Amino acid sequence: MSGSEAVTVLGISGSLRQGSYNAAALREAVRLAPQGMKIQIGDISEVPLYNEDVYAKGFPPAVERLREQVRAADALLIVTPEYNYSIPGVLKNVIDWISRPPDQPFAAKPAAVMGASAGRFGTARAQYHLRQSMVYLDLRFLNRPEVMIGNAGEHFDAAGNLIDEQTRKQIRRLLEALYEQTVKAKG
Ligand SMILES: Cc1cc2nc3c(=O)[nH]c(=O)nc-3n(C[C@H](O)[C@H](O)[C@H](O)COP(=O)(O)O)c2cc1C
């Protein structure tokens, strides 16, 4: 389903790497967004390591910006690599910052996850770890479709373009499901 209702999505890639497959998959998602959906890409590169002493003095500007973007978005799209069977520390660090009181911007937000990894299982384990953390924060992940891009190097060209039509179809289906879920959630 795609349609006339406007849905805004904040996309976050869990990799800071210049040639990141996950950042490339997120850029592809921006291009594949169904009618009515607009995906904005959040910048996590300036977020410092979480420190309760820093938090006590106020959110750093990069965190405040992301918190505001999460709050303003109708839904989230998280695109994560798998590091040692989990999500990268940089992504967990961002989640930890955004989750801190007074308000909790993730609560009740529809969300989708996808990921690309060098391994055969295409971030499956990282995605389930992410889902586990986000249960506590009450983020509402879609259960399906699952988009797990294994052997990532075979799916992207040197310029970071997705060259696999099957994966493009999967991403499109995921975004359509997210659109539908978000329209429902908005009531
Ligand atoms: C610290 C570290 C741990 C990794 N652990 C895994 C892993 O558990 N499973 C996997 O499939 N790939 C693993 N990889 C390889 C990543 O899938 C690969 O580096 C991938 O390109 C990272 O995503 P990116 O291209 O978006 O940066 C690991 C890479 C790093 C740097």
Residue 62, classed as helix, strand or coil, is: helix
pLDDT surpasses 80 at 74: yes
135-173 per-position pLDDT tens digit: 999 999 999 999 999 999 999 999 999 999 999 999 999
| Mean of pLDDT over the chain | 96
- Give the model's pLDDT for residue 3: 79
* Count of all residues that appear for the chain in the document: 187
- Give the model's pLDDT for residue 4: 87
Residue (of 152, 2, 6, 135) closest to 79 by Cα position: 152
Q: Is the CB of 80 under 6 A from ligand 1?
A: no
Please state, in angstroms and rounded to a whole number, the distance separating the CA atoms of residues 178 and 77: 9
What's this model's pTM, rounded to 2 decimal places? 0.97
- Give the model's pLDDT for residue 2: 62
Q: Using CB atoms within 10 Å of the CB of residue 2, give its burial: 0 to 12 exposed, 13 to 18 middle, 19+ buried.
A: middle
Strands of the chain, DSSP E: 7-13, 37-41, 75-79, 110-116, 140-141, 147-149
Pocket test for ligand 1, best of 117, 147, 149, 154 (most atoms within 8 A of CB): 117
**Residue 9 token pair:** 């999505």
- Give the model's pLDDT for residue 1: 55
